[in-house]
Amino acid sequence: MSVRREEPSESEQAASSRLVGWIALVAALATLNYAGRLSGGKPESDVLYQYETATGSAILYAILLAIVVFGIGRGLPKADFFALHRPRSWPSALSWVLAGYVAIFIGAGLLLLVLDAGEEQGLTPEGWDSSRAGAYAANFVAVALIGPVVEELLYRGAGLSLLLRFGPWIAVVATAICFGLGHGLVLALPALVVFGLVTGFVRLRTDSIYPPMLIHCAFNATSLIVAVAT
């Protein structure tokens, strides 16, 4: 006697297709970043003093955002798919933001120190150059605002939403690993995964993408400020 195999419902098929699309996108991003690092090595030491860097970053993030919003997330309620709604409690959410910020600086910071991976990305300038303050400001916006917003929408927004059906912790761990790989780094990968774990946990605890965005923006902004102040 044969047993008829039931086909997945349309919603299940659509969810699977979206997940495949998301995986393909983050895999392509990781591949491009690792290939670029292998072929070109570290970027120039003054890369954040170049307007071209800010322009290129803004274009890349715009493309990523367009693919996620109008491709993978097409037809879905954006507020639910990207968790674009207020936290359950702003005071509680801000407490989680502060706790997450401190946890990342301690956890990721120690890993970067132990693994000697602090300079692997090669974006830290050697010092402050007031004559190119405009270019640095443009890159500051790209790295401390545009980048974090888009990356959080990609990983803790769309990624978590698509993977939550496998369980919250699988979703957090998987998106954290993808987030780390997406930067194309080797030594700093564990620190980036810790970053993804913390922000993913905060996203689940607050049921909102805004607290992880705040953590990410604050962390990147602090790093850029410290880079030229020391």
Render pLDDT for 139-157 as a digit per residue (tens, 0 to 9): 999 999 999 999 999 999 9
- pTM of the entire predicted model: 0.92
Question: Is there a contact between 71 and 21 (Cβ–Cβ < 8 Å)?
Answer: yes
Nearest to 220 by CA among 123, 134, 153, 120: 123
Band of the pLDDT at 122, cuts 50, 70, 90? low
CA distance 51 to 134: 8
* Nearest of 165, 180, 171 to residue 200 by alpha carbon: 171
**Strand stretches in the chain, DSSP E:** none
Residue type (1 letter), 51: Y
Domain extents for the chain?
Answer: 14-74+89-229
C-alpha dihedral over 165, 168, 170, 172, to 10 degrees? Answer: 120
Question: Residue 213 above 50 pLDDT?
Answer: yes
Position 124 confidence tier, pLDDT thresholds 50, 70, 90: confident
Q: What is the pLDDT of residue 209?
A: 98
Give the Cα separation of 181 and 80 in Å (integer). Answer: 26
120 in Cβ contact with 113 (< 8 Å)? no
> Can you say whether residue 125 is alpha, beta or left, with left for phi > 0 and alpha for psi between -120 and 50 degrees?
beta
Q: What is the pLDDT of residue 3?
A: 39
* DSSP class of 164: G
Stretch among 1-5, 73-77, 186-190, 218-222 having the lowest mean pLDDT:
1-5
